[in-house]
């Protein structure tokens, strides 16, 4: 009987802690503004952004925000020649929807190529304006 009473108390007690949708992440660098346009845009990633300013060790993750009202394709490259010669296309790289926020492990890119992509319900027009993606590096995930 005591077990049932204890079980009832546990099940009827208010929840003291609830999980959130937030992914553990600590920003250690100022955001890198990755440029967006209707065609591939190249942004260099400062080497200092990829290292912990306290101990110089590589940071493991990046936090990204797509503040645009359109889908965005992004691809990181380990050398500048690939950014300029290959770049991102409408069918390659990460695809992030409008308003997307996420944390990913990083491959320590030298540069990033990004462009807006038209999707049903999210067209790109001549009057479409673009805000840069914000990438912040840190430990996490």
pLDDT of residue 124: 93
Q: pLDDT per residue over 58-113, tens digit each?
A: 888 888 999 999 999 999 888 877 877 888 999 999 999 999 998 888 888 889 99
pTM of the predicted structure, to 2 decimals = 0.76
Q: Distance of CA 64 to CAs 17, 88, 122, 130, Å?
A: 27, 17, 20, 15
Q: Please say if the pLDDT value at position 114 is more than 70.
A: yes
The CA-CA-CA angle for residues 126, 131, 133, to 5°, reads 130
pLDDT of residue 13: 45
Tokens of 7: 């079980």
pLDDT of residue 80: 75
**Distance of alpha carbon 111 from alpha carbon 50, whole angstroms:** 12
Give the number of other Cβ atoms within 10 Å of residue 96's Cβ: 20
Q: pLDDT per residue over 5-50, tens digit each?
A: 544 444 444 444 444 455 667 777 888 899 999 999 989 888 888 8
Q: Where are the domains of the chain?
A: 33-45+59-141
Q: Quick one: CA dihedral 132, 69, 72, 98, positive or negative?
A: positive
Q: pLDDT per residue over 79-92, tens digit each?
A: 877 877 888 999 99
Cβ atoms of residues 88 and 44 within 8 Å: no
User: Which residues 6+ apart lie within 8 Å of 27 measured at CB?
Assistant: 63, 136, 137, 138
Cβ atoms of residues 106 and 137 within 8 Å: yes
């Amino acid at each position: 009987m005591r077990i049932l009473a204890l079980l009832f108390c546990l099940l009827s007690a208010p929840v003291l802690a609830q999980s959130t949708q937030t992914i553990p992440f600590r920003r250690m660098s100022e955001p890198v503004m990755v440029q967006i346009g209707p065609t591939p845009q190249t942004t260099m990633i400062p080497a200092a952004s990829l290292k912990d300013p306290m101990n110089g060790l590589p940071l493991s993750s990046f936090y990204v925000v797509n503040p645009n009202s359109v889908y965005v394709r992004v691809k990181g490259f380990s050398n500048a020649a690939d950014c300029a010669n290959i770049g991102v296309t409408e069918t390659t790289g990460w695809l992030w929807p409008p308003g997307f926020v996420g944390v990913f492990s990083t491959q320590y890119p030298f540069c990033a190529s990004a462009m807006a992509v038209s999707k049903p319900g999210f067209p790109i027009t001549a009057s479409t304006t673009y805000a840069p993606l914000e990438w912040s590096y840190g430990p996490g995930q």
